[in-house]
Amino acid sequence: MNPGNSTPPSESHEPAFERWRHRLAWTTGLGLTSEESLRRDQERQAELAPAQLAQCRQWKADLLSSSPKITFMLKHLELLGTPIGPEFLHCTPCQPTHAGGTDPDTGNIVLCQGRFMSKKHMEDTITHELLHLYDQSRFSVDWSNLRHHACSEVRASNLSGDCRWGREVRRLFFSFSKQHQACVRRRAVASVQANPSCPDRAAAERAVNEVFDSCFKDTRPFDEIY
């Protein structure tokens, strides 16, 4: 980012050295108050948003037409009477910790622009959300039932590519023994814990543990873990 594009607070009333110091702080983030840091982050996000939106939309269009696992999921959703077209996938800014989300009642999928490390990351995210829609269509999931939610999260994390070894290494989670299973379990617990019907982490862990073995083995509509 060009530091000249953002305007540090009170710059015009300060001596030259102080203006330079504030501009450096605005560029690096060092020495800013919490309010200044928030304003700086908001300005940067506003500057990046148009390019992030364009990239998100382009990747989405490419993947919907060329990704084997996404087109496979779309085919099986259509067979279940739940056709999902490009208009159901929406690129939008999100919280920093999220890459995507689904509204099972409407079939709409949110893709968090600027949060994807690569097109492959977006492909895995779309597949994850499509698996939730598949479960909703095939099994009539009650999302307020923690066991139902846990099963869908186990399946989505297991089958989408979320837990491939290279992705886990970038998250600083890596092991040569049952790393995939550990990742699926960890991510499922985190998702269930965020369910408004979940009272605490212990309840999320209990729900995941109760369904893990059977849901991990259920690879529908795939023949095996992709």
In this prediction, residue 1 has a pLDDT band, given cuts at 50, 70 and 90, of very low
Q: Say how far apart CA 144 and CA 214 lie, in whole Å.
A: 20
- Whether the per-residue pLDDT at 114 is higher than 50: the answer is yes
Query: Taking the complete model, does pTM exceed 0.85, yes or no?
Result: no
> pLDDT for 168-207, tens place per residue?
666 666 666 688 999 999 999 999 999 999 999 999 999 9
> pLDDT for 9-54, tens place per residue?
554 455 675 666 556 555 555 665 777 666 766 666 677 788 999 9
Q: How much is the pLDDT for 29?
A: 58
Sole residue written with tokens 């999260």: 153
Q: How much is the pLDDT for 42?
A: 65
Closest CA to 128 of 140, 146, 116: 116
Q: How much is the pLDDT for 21?
A: 57
Mean confidence (pLDDT) of the chain: 85
Crossing angle for the helix pair 146-160 and 119-139, to the nearest 10 degrees = 140
Q: Which residues are known to be catalytic?
A: 129
- Under 8 Å between Cβ of 119 and 57: no
Q: How much is the pLDDT for 93?
A: 87
Q: How far apart are the first and last CA of the chain?
A: 39
> pLDDT for 126-166, tens place per residue?
999 999 999 999 999 999 999 999 999 999 999 999 888 76
